[in-house]
Structure 1
Amino acid sequence: MSLAANIAIRQIACSLRRSPSTISWDINKNGGIGKYRAIVAEAAAWKRAKRPKPAKLAINIPLKSLVIEKLQLKWSPEQISGWLKIEFPFLKNMQISPETIYKSLYIRSRELLDIALMNSLRRAHKIRQSKRHSRRDDRGSISIVNGIFLHKRPSEIDERSISGHWDSDLISGSGNTHSDTSNLLLQAPDL
């Protein structure tokens, strides 16, 4: 799909699974509808990205020293980041996000922080997982897509008058483990 084929922005956005505003922004940033060319826009995006960027702790030795010092004192990356914002409110080069500190610890190819500093973290994980890794929602419960409340399901299910319905209970245990107790009603009970 392309603008050259006179396809609408909304159709392009739908096919790319992006917001129409994102597509519109990209088109306007790269010359507008009349001048936009996808290959040129992609090349410009790669040039602007300048990847791979040098890591902040690799180029800022004073910041790296402070982060190491606080990690040795068993401070969490969130505490370090917050403290730096208070201590150096007007120096953006002396501020760092907690996620950048975690990545500096967990991505070994960067070799920015000593692996022994991972032992200073309160929670010892071999691999850093994003906040969105878990299937749980903000309240800590499992998210069920298109679920139906028990009191709203058809009465023939409760009465077991029609065969072929599933009856299932999901039991959640520790360590993100789950057990499903599914039963299929193969035939209607004798009435």
Structure 2
Amino acid sequence: MQLLVGVLGAVLGALVGGVVAYFSTRSRIRLEVEYAHDQTLRDKRLEHYQRLFHISRCLPRYWRAVEQPARTELLTFREEFHNWYFGEQAGGLFLTPRSKALYLELQNALWAAARPDQDQEDQAVSELSAEESRRLRTLASELRHQLAEDVGAAHPPRLRWTRLGPTAPPSMLEKVDPTEDRGQSRV
């Protein structure tokens, strides 16, 4: 009888241990696969976002005095954004929902400000209004900020030990003698 109880206990223990090992291994593998997917997506997204960030330089936060584009140039800018989105590398495929919304809003604003329904001569001489200029620059800036947010560049490192503290001035650093025994008090 005792032998039967011992064998039954061993079998039951092995069975419970096997079930626990199965579920813990399964969840660990699932987390590893999710992490690998997220990391791969982030790396691919980073490549495409760098290019979009570079393209958006045509709409800086502030125009220089001679830098404000003509309406005809806005169509060229819009085309550059369009080519990035639908181009050979399909950059638009990697946009997050928030980035995509900002991107499309910027594209629509470029189209509206370019006024493609006007003839070329009117477009060339017609300057952007202050409101149109502000809206385009604001949308481009918001898009760039969202791109940085998406790839994690807008956040400090999450691990506390990776944050660097301020460098102490030389006068505050004490000279340490490696031969000195730190366990004894000085006389």
TM range (shorter): under 0.3
Q: Choose between structure 1 and 2: higher strand proportion.
A: 1
Of Structure 1 and Structure 2, which has the larger fraction of its residues in helix?
2
Which structure has more relative contact order (CA 8 Å, sep 6+)? It is 2
Q: TM-score, normalised by structure 2?
A: 0.21
